[in-house]
Amino acid sequence: MHPLNRKIFRDLKRLRGQAFAIAMIVASGIGVLVMSLSAMQALTDTTQAYYERYQFADVFAVTKRTPMHVVRELEGIDGVRTIEPRIVQYATIDVESFPEPIAGSFVSIPENHPPRLNQLALRAGRMPLDTEPDEILINEPFAEAHALAPGDTIEALLNGRKRVLNIVGLALSPEFVYAIGPGTLMPDAARYGVVWMGQKALAAAYDLDHAFNNAAFSLWPGSPIASVLRSIDDILEKYGGIGAIARDDQISNWFVMNEIEQLKSIASIMPPIFLAVAAFLTNMVLARLVYIERAEIGLLKAFGYTDVTMAWHYIKFVLIICAAGVIIGWGLGYWLGHWMTTMYADLFRFPLLVFAPRYDIYVLSATISIGAALIGAIGAVRFAASLPPAEAMRPPSPPAFRHHSSLLAGLVEHLDQPTRIIFRQVFRRPLRTLLTSLGVSASVAVLVASLQWLDAIDYMIEDYFTNQQRQDITISLVEAANTDVVNDLARLPGIQAVEPHRAVAARLHFGPRYRREAVIGLPQNGELEVLHDVHGSRVPLPGNGLLVSSAMADILGAGVGDAVIVEVLEGRRPIVAIEVAAIFETLIGTPVYMEFEALNRTLNEPERTNLLVAVFDERQQQHLYETIKELPTVAGVVLKRAAIDLFDQTIGETMLIMIFFYVAFASTLAFGVLYNNMRISLSERGRELATLRVLGFTNAEIAYMLFGEAAVLTLIGLPLGCLLGWLLAVFMAQGFNTELFRIPVVIEASTYGYSMLVVLTSAFASALLVERRLVRLNLISVLKTRE
Amino acid sequence: MHSKAPANLPSKTPKVTLSARDLIKVYQAGTVEIRALDGVDLDLYEDELVVLVGPSGSGKSTLLNILGGLDAPTSGQVFFRGQQLDLENDAIITEYRRKHVGFVFQFYNLIASLTAQENVALVTEIAEAPLTPTEALSLVGLGDRLNAFPAELSGGEQQRVAIARAIAKQPDLLLCDEPTGALDSKTGILVLAALEQVNRELGTTTALITHNRSISGMADRVFRFGDGRIVETSINAARVPVDELVW
């Protein structure tokens, strides 16, 4: 091996602690980048493969009842390639071992051939036989949640008739990747099931012979989607169509796409922070190394080594550190990416999983980090290359310190000498001070921004489930019924209070913009659903006009006083102009509210309700559930307790694991920055500290002078980090904002506290490691040699 | 100029500041054993200025480091005012250095971030009965450079700040390891004059290592080292004034 290369390895061995810290920061950045990019790619690939193989539809339309012959008319629409007419109904399911009522989506499948669109991945058992109307398939997660297998039975209330259905198979469908029940926020496999039944059997149950109430379409590539949707709506309007939607708005697909967007957001926010810090540290460590070795550099140049050789020598040093970080990061990222993808596979149900991260993710991540490290190395390498041999071999003069301005001088007056040393070190290289403090603050910021997710979620749960939703149970009815049903419900066992609400499918238009959204009617003095804005103050329900969420107002571009065209998509389908009476901010969804009676007047359907919210006595819970399971008019039931538990469980679990990693990454960052700072300080000031020991200062006193500087930098970094963390949280919240959720930027004082504590712990750990070297400082050899 | 004679004690029986008995220091350099000190006995008296001369590696610096509490001997004892020093105990020898010893090195080892005055104040802040930094600096002729940073001082000036720093606490013992080694003769004379003045005015026991035999003239006694031993001790009947030294 060339002696210069041998020197690199010896240098690396000597500086292993610092090199390792830098490599770990590079690894953290690469890890997050590879993790999010590979999970994103896996999710995209898997979804795409799944959608393609199982013919996921491009357009979905819901109607009341459309005769079969209309299919031909729909097929005639320019751009439509295939149409799958079917029946989709909500009905309650009863599983013997489970006390609560379960919401079910019943979807028809053709008897004699597989569906042309939204095909099923049969996971166990077989398809139902057309001769057996009670044979069904259920979706796999639902089966797993209740330990159901082919051969078992479930009961369901179909159109008012209790049916015992025989499970013959388990399936997954691209339509229900994210299987979310009506009125819920998250998939709950135990309380929401998808059931596939033969077309004839389901038609018979719902009196839909020779008719369908739901259609899926595939389009020819490049078809103008907007005009296809319009044409479908035009045809289906007279059959009770409530507006066709494109795949982008299909709920399951929407969630998957949204998750991919969030991964993109992680990939673009976190890694740059780590790589920038790695570049800075590379610069700091290399600059010091070159400075110490300037005599050797001069000597080598005097021997005839070229500037380029010397530059390349130090670049290799950086490349080796960086390469170590890249390789560790690749491994970490691959592993985390796989873990994350598996987690997604659990949340989103895919029959297949494509986890084959493309090599370009690895090439890209390595290129970016090596690029960043080289940028960091430029200054030091250029210094090494440009050092004239003679100058390189001359000893340096003492570093210059500036005299303070009179104001600072006045301040310094009051400090003892050791403190003055700290103070002057901090001010001597303002850029290095600033960058080191920024490095510390970056780790605080990463912690604040990731720990605040828990605060935000707590806040959302509190806001939505405690302040707004005061009911215990929400019951949606198959069809709107007279408000007398309130009294019927009130008589059920354990029910303490009931309120009728109304949800109406509508399309809201304002100018050229439009949006589908249910308009919810709430009673004027209702107590079970109370609207609050994001600041917690109660939003009064206007007597007339719409109460629009700001998210919806933004989508439509409408403000208070503007008249929005409400195109009701059910019943008599009135189209009315309603004024926006007020706008309020909410974290969840894009809701639009109206006063209950006002809404019914608009619909010309007085005293009708299709959504009942109630409070019940927990002791009667069992009895109540059993009764509700028998009610034919019930389409679905949402229990608040279950929803909160699920929210906590699903989000909490994954969040905690992610937070664990971010804490680890942030600690690495803080450790790397401070350890390197202290080591370089020790190297720069070893003589000085040895001198102080000779002068009679104790180990503790010189530790004060060495670590005092790091402590000051940390103390500057902590509050700065809290501020940056807040900014990062705001930025990330914006990145994660969707129409469904707006992540609030809520940061508890304790979150700032924990973040700072983690960084302080890292600071102490690095100080302890450096302290061992400080104690071993060889007084004689340091003093007897020139630096 | 100086008489070669056995080590006679000065006539008025002055007090012993520091004694060393049978000091042996063995270094392990790879597989080779180096006996840096091979049985040194020595007494240093109040008010006296001694010079240690000898070739490189003869043990002068090793002895000075042990006497100053920077290093521990392999065997042997050091007594400070009759009290044995536990040279293995870091707390004790730190305290010893802090209270009683001043050092001056070839390389000045000033704290770059502190001004001349502050470098001295560094020591006076932790000393029991120190001179003021201004007094100490005036003593070495730098009363007008109080606020200069080391980078703004010449080599000789830096060394004089180092001396001021070493004597500001009024140490009992001032140990100087080639204080003029990095200086030209003119500057060297200034530095030696400062040391001589401090010794004379404060009565500090001063031990000075030098390669330059002509400096020996300024000493009360001269120890010549060879192979880890004191091979010769000479007493100067009269100290030669520094400005008369032939460099």
The partner residue sitting opposite A687, judged by closest CB among B91, B99, B109, is B109
Whether B4 is covered by a domain: the verdict is: no
DSSP letter string, A339-397: HHHHHHHHHTT-SS------HHHHHHHHHHHHHHHHHHHHHHHHHHHH--HHHHHSPPP
The partner residue sitting opposite A691, judged by closest CB among B109, B152, B177, is B109
Q: What is the pLDDT of residues A387-411, one digit of tens each?
A: 877 766 666 666 777 776 767 777 7
Nearest-CA neighbor of A506 among A549, A569, A552, A558? A569
Q: What is the pLDDT of residues A691-719, one digit of tens each?
A: 888 888 888 888 998 899 999 999 999 99
Most confident stretch, A240-249, A613-622, B8-17, B44-53? B44-53
Q: What is the pLDDT of residues A610-669, one digit of tens each?
A: 999 999 998 888 888 888 877 878 877 888 888 888 877 777 777 787 788 888 888 988
Banded model confidence at residue A545, pLDDT cuts 50, 70, 90: very high
Side-chain-side CA neighbours of residue B62 (13 Å): 27
Answer whether A400 sits within 8 Å of B118, measured CB to CB.
no
Whether residue A551 contacts residue A533, with contact meaning beta carbons closer than 8 Å, is answered with no
Mean pLDDT of chain A: 87
CA distance B103 to B223: 19
Residues from chain B that touch A428, judged by Cβ atoms under 8 A, are: 113
Q: Which domain holds residue B205?
A: 16-242
> Which tokens hold the place of A134?
């009670």
Q: What single letter denotes the amino acid at residue A451?
A: L
Residue A394 confidence (pLDDT):
67
Whether pLDDT at B68 is above 50: yes
Residue A264 confidence (pLDDT):
82
Residue A751 confidence (pLDDT):
94
Q: How many CB pairs under 8 A join A and B?
A: 91
> Which tokens hold the place of A97?
């071992």
CA nearest A425 in B: which residue?
B113
- Best mutation target among A695, A706, A776, A787 (most B Cβ atoms within 10 Å) is A695
Q: Output phi, psi for A530, to 5 deg.
A: -115, 125
Whether B9 is covered by a domain: the verdict is: no
Residues from chain B that touch A697, judged by Cβ atoms under 8 A, are: 94, 98, 126
Answer whether B126 sits within 8 Å of A697, measured CB to CB.
yes
Measured at the CA of A688, the angle between CA A760 and CA A281, to 5 degrees, comes to 45
Average pLDDT over residues B167-186: 87
Average pLDDT over residues B159-187: 88
- The alpha-carbon gap from A1 to the nearest alpha carbon of chain B, in Å, equals 25
Long-range Cβ contacts of A69-76 (<8 Å, 24+ apart) = A70/A235, A70/A236, A70/A239, A71/A212, A71/A215, A73/A235, A74/A215, A74/A217, A74/A232, A74/A235, A74/A236
Q: What is the pLDDT of residues A716-739, one digit of tens each?
A: 999 999 999 999 999 888 877 777
Residue A303 confidence (pLDDT):
77
Answer whether A420 sits within 8 Å of B150, measured CB to CB.
no
Q: What is the pLDDT of residues A300-341, one digit of tens each?
A: 887 778 888 888 988 999 999 999 999 999 999 999 999 888
> Which tokens hold the place of A412?
């310094």
Whether pLDDT at B87 is above 90: no
Q: What single letter denotes the amino acid at residue B158?
A: Q
Residues from chain A that touch B96, judged by Cβ atoms under 8 A, are: 696
Answer whether A421 sits within 8 Å of B114, measured CB to CB.
yes
Whether residue A545 contacts residue A578, with contact meaning beta carbons closer than 8 Å, is answered with yes
pLDDT > 90 fraction of chain A, expressed in percent and rounded: 38
Nearest-CA neighbor of B108 among A683, A419, A787, A704? A787
Average pLDDT over residues A413-442: 86
Whether pLDDT at A8 is above 70: yes
Q: What is the pLDDT of residues A444-471, one digit of tens each?
A: 998 998 888 889 888 888 888 888 888 8
Measured at the CA of B133, the angle between CA B132 and CA B134, to 5 degrees, comes to 90
Answer whether A401 sits within 8 Å of B149, measured CB to CB.
yes
Whether pLDDT at B8 is above 60: no
- The alpha-carbon gap from A708 to the nearest alpha carbon of chain B, in Å, equals 14
Average pLDDT over residues A157-180: 91
CA distance A567 to B70: 92
Whether the CB of A784 is below 8 Å from some CB of chain B: the reply is: yes
Average pLDDT over residues A162-173: 94
CA distance A288 to A291: 5
Whether B6 is covered by a domain: the verdict is: no
CA distance B135 to B100: 19
A 740-779: CB under 8 A from B:
779
Contacts of A527 (CB under 8 A, 6+ apart): A470, A497, A499
> Which tokens hold the place of B20?
């060393």
Answer whether A417 sits within 8 Å of B147, measured CB to CB.
no
CA distance A250 to A334: 31
Q: Output phi, psi for B67, to 5 deg.
A: -65, -35
Secondary structure E strands in A523-572:
546-549, 563-568
H or E element in which residue A539 lies: none
CA distance A724 to A756: 13
Average pLDDT over residues A14-28: 89
Answer whether B165 sits within 8 Å of A695, measured CB to CB.
yes
Whether residue A469 contacts residue A475, with contact meaning beta carbons closer than 8 Å, is answered with no
Q: What is the pLDDT of residues A483-505, one digit of tens each?
A: 888 888 888 888 899 999 999 98
Residue A65 confidence (pLDDT):
92
- The alpha-carbon gap from B193 to the nearest alpha carbon of chain A, in Å, equals 22
Mean pLDDT of chain B: 87
Answer whether B113 sits within 8 Å of A425, measured CB to CB.
yes
Answer whether A420 sits within 8 Å of B101, measured CB to CB.
no
CA nearest B110 in A: which residue?
A688
Q: What is the pLDDT of residues B188-246, one digit of tens each?
A: 888 898 889 889 888 899 999 988 888 899 999 999 999 999 999 999 988 888 888 87
pLDDT > 90 fraction of chain B, expressed in percent and rounded: 41
Confirm whether the ipTM is greater than 0.85: no
Q: Which residues of A676-686 are buried (b: 16+ CB within 10 A; e: fewer)?
A: bbbbbbbbbbb
Whether B234 is covered by a domain: the verdict is: yes
H or E element in which residue B202 lies: helix B185-202
Whether the CB of A693 is below 8 Å from some CB of chain B: the reply is: yes
Residue B7 confidence (pLDDT):
45
If one counts the domains in chain B, the total is 1
Banded model confidence at residue A572, pLDDT cuts 50, 70, 90: confident
Whether pLDDT at A441 is above 50: yes
Whether pLDDT at B27 is above 90: no
Whether the CB of A405 is below 8 Å from some CB of chain B: the reply is: no
Answer whether A696 sits within 8 Å of B149, measured CB to CB.
no
Answer whether B125 sits within 8 Å of A397, measured CB to CB.
no
Residue B71 confidence (pLDDT):
87
Whether the CB of B59 is below 8 Å from some CB of chain A: the reply is: no
Whether pLDDT at B4 is above 50: no
Distances (CA, A) of A724 to A134, A258, A779, B170: 61, 26, 42, 52
Distances (CA, A) of A476 to A58, A488, B41: 28, 14, 104
> Which tokens hold the place of A546?
């719409």
Contacts of B142 (CB under 8 A, 6+ apart): B116, B157, B160, B161, B164
Whether residue A539 contacts residue A532, with contact meaning beta carbons closer than 8 Å, is answered with yes
Whether the CB of B65 is below 8 Å from some CB of chain A: the reply is: yes
Q: Which residues pair with A474 in a beta bridge?
A: A613, A638
The partner residue sitting opposite B123, judged by closest CB among A399, A403, A695, is A695
> Which tokens hold the place of A618?
């927990």
Residue A683 confidence (pLDDT):
85
CA distance A76 to A59: 15
CA distance A632 to B176: 104
Answer whether B95 sits within 8 Å of A401, measured CB to CB.
no
Answer whether A417 sits within 8 Å of B150, measured CB to CB.
no
The partner residue sitting opposite B71, judged by closest CB among A398, A696, A780, is A780
CATH code: domain of residue B49: 3.40.50.300
Whether pLDDT at A768 is above 60: yes
Whether pLDDT at A784 is above 80: no
| Coil vs helix vs strand at A489 | helix
Nearest-10 Cα torsion for A685, A690, A693, A695: -100
Residues from chain B that touch A702, judged by Cβ atoms under 8 A, are: none
- Relative to beta strand A135-139, strand A192-198 is antiparallel
Answer whether B113 sits within 8 Å of A428, measured CB to CB.
yes
The partner residue sitting opposite A421, judged by closest CB among B95, B113, B158, is B113
Whether the CB of B92 is below 8 Å from some CB of chain A: the reply is: no
Q: What is the pLDDT of residues A248-306, one digit of tens each?
A: 889 889 888 888 888 888 788 888 888 888 888 888 888 888 887 887 888 788 777 88
- Tell the residue number behind the tokens 């690495």, with chain if given: A668
CA distance A150 to A338: 31
